[in-house]
Structure 1
Amino acid sequence: MTVTEQKFWVVIPAAGIGSRMQADCPKQYLELQSKTVIEQTLSHFIHHPRIHGIVVAVAEHDSIWPTLKIDTDKPVYTVNGGAERCHSVLNALRFLKDKTKDSDWVLVHDAARPCLRREDLDKLMITMAQHPHGGILGVPVRDTLKRVDVACIIEDTIDRERLCHAMTPQMFHVGMLREALEKSIGEGVLVTDEASAMEYAGYSPLVVEGHGDNIKITRPEDLALASFYLASISDEAASDYDGLMADDG
């Protein structure tokens, strides 16, 4: 099927604390260009014509998320997150079970990754819509990588030729990803991203090359960098895929 014949959902795991940010609130609620980080992140999906709905997984006692006013006609659901990212995503997928077909697509995206380009999102959706297993956005590793011991003494240099940085969104069939996460968690494997769960289940996800400015805010200095990137990215008008992605009603 073409991309316009398929249904796409988004899951945003947002139950983390982000202790490395050294902030007085979780990093997804820090201010970024007059909005919170998570509002900037959500805007990429809220304004996309092919996204059917969004599920945000938040901490059980999150007092900030309910105060945000998300202006959209799309359904935005909230579920309780879990102890780890994989638990949060699985909770969201189980919530979606009665609202989706297993063949629908879900894009899992980091709450603290607000600089997603529309062209990268469209490229991922169009490419993965023709792929049996799904895949992720990523960028090639360009820096030289060193393996070090516990004392930070270099042991060897890693060949970077076939390495890439895994990013989000990570896009898979709803049913396939749910079963993969149930398998990995059930067997005590707490994966750190959705592609790892798919790999563990025996699938072969694809990597679609994106842009390096799709950063995840992790440390204090990342907030200023994200603000710079957001200011430099055009208003979602640069996508070469707009005609293919347009809502066909």
Structure 2
Amino acid sequence: MPKYWGIIPAAGVGRRMGGPVPKQFLKIKDKTIIEWTILALAQHERIDGLYIGLEKTDQYGDWIRSIHPKVLGVYKGGETRSETVLNGISYLIGNGCSEDDWLLVHDANRPLLTLEEITRLIETVGDDENGGIVSLPVFDTLKSGTDGIINSTVNREHCYRALTPQMFKLGHLHKALLQCVCQGIMATDESQAMERLGHQPKLIL
């Protein structure tokens, strides 16, 4: 039986917020955002273990491992999200995980993930090797523009927000991300890398 692993890429330094502390280490009530995020995944019975990609494993590693018994390892992240996830996959494979196992990649700054969303993702994808992502329909009016000028209004009927977790076979995602890195393509999420490999991931609403 394939196992279900989770990777949380948390190597970002918070450039968009511009603060001294990366967003994932800010506190909400009595816990940091990344603690809430780890617990959201770890509490699901189908998740066999979690691996966290960090910028500074020496500074945060011991603390991250102590958050939950399902945190099985921390590893050094990369310069980009894709590199951090790719490093994580290499870490998993190096620690004996099968390429036929499933991998759920979840953003460190999305702590409000529910058990129901994880269940729906796992059950809807099933054994479909295209994988799938948590998503939401777009309700806002979308515009396409260049240099600050509107070119057209985009038909939102077929537009969705790509969220996380994004779930794929470990081996397939490894191949897809390696291809993007080798070709110098900056994949903004795992689904984009899989699409370039010819897969059509499911949208889990």
TM range (shorter): over 0.9
User: Which ranges of 4 or more aligned residues in structure 1 deviate by more than 4 Å?
Assistant: none
Q: How does 1:182-193 map to 2 (within 5 A)?
A: 182-193=178-189
Letter of the aligned partner of 1:13 in structure 2? Answer: P
Residues in 2 aligned to 1:88 and 1:106: alpha-carbon distance in whole angstroms: 14
Q: How does 1:50-65 map to 2 (within 5 A)?
A: 50-60=46-56, 63-65=59-61
* Partner residue of 1:10 out of 6, 9, 15: 6
Residues in 1 aligned to 2:56 and 2:64: alpha-carbon distance in whole angstroms: 16
Where 1:120 maps in the other structure, the secondary structure is helix
Q: Give the equivalent residue in structure 1 for 2:66.
A: 70
Q: Give the equivalent residue in structure 2 for 1:143.
A: 140
Q: Give the equivalent residue in structure 2 for 1:105.
A: 102
Residues in 1 aligned to 2:55 and 2:176: alpha-carbon distance in whole angstroms: 23
Cα gap change, 1:8 to 1:18, in 2 (>3 Å): same
For each residue in 1:125-169, what CA deviation from the matched residue of structure 2 results, as whole angstroms up to 9, or x when unmatched? 11112312101000010000112322x232211111100000000
- 2:137–2:159 Cα contact (<8 Å) kept: yes
Residues in 1 aligned to 2:115 and 2:121: alpha-carbon distance in whole angstroms: 10
Residues in 2 aligned to 1:100 and 1:169: alpha-carbon distance in whole angstroms: 19
Where 1:182 maps in the other structure, the secondary structure is helix
- 1:90–1:178 Cα contact (<8 Å) kept: yes
For each residue in 1:53-109, what CA deviation from the matched residue of structure 2 results, as whole angstroms up to 9, or x when unmatched? 111111146734544563433242111000110000000000111321111000000
Where 2:143 maps in the other structure, the secondary structure is strand
Where 1:24 maps in the other structure, the secondary structure is coil
RMSD: 1.6
Shift of 1:189: 0.9
Residues in 2 aligned to 1:75 and 1:29: alpha-carbon distance in whole angstroms: 17
Say if 2:89 is the partner of 1:114: no
Q: Give the equivalent residue in structure 1 for 2:194.
A: 198
Q: Identical aligned pairs, as a percentage? A: 38
- 2:102–2:169 Cα contact (<8 Å) kept: yes
Shift of 1:178: 0.5
Cα gap change, 1:62 to 1:142, in 2 (>3 Å): farther
Larger RCO, structure (CA 8 Å, separation 6 or more): 1
Say if 2:121 is the partner of 1:124: yes
* Partner residue of 2:82 out of 82, 86, 89: 86
Where 1:76 maps in the other structure, the secondary structure is strand
Letter of the aligned partner of 1:77 in structure 2? Answer: G
- 1:29–1:64 Cα contact (<8 Å) kept: no
Residues in 2 aligned to 1:44 and 1:89: alpha-carbon distance in whole angstroms: 19
Residues in 2 aligned to 1:61 and 1:103: alpha-carbon distance in whole angstroms: 28
- 2:65–2:71 Cα contact (<8 Å) kept: no
Give the alignment's TM-score, normalised by structure 2.
Answer: 0.93
How many residues align structurally?
A: 204
Cα gap change, 1:71 to 1:83, in 2 (>3 Å): closer
Cα gap change, 1:120 to 1:163, in 2 (>3 Å): same
- 2:131–2:169 Cα contact (<8 Å) kept: yes
Residues in 2 aligned to 1:71 and 1:183: alpha-carbon distance in whole angstroms: 34
Q: Which runs of 5+ in 2 are unaligned?
A: none
Cα gap change, 1:76 to 1:129, in 2 (>3 Å): same
For each residue in 1:204-244, what CA deviation from the matched residue of structure 2 results, as whole angstroms up to 9, or x when unmatched? 111111xxxxxxxxxxxxxxxxxxxxxxxxxxxxxxxxxxx
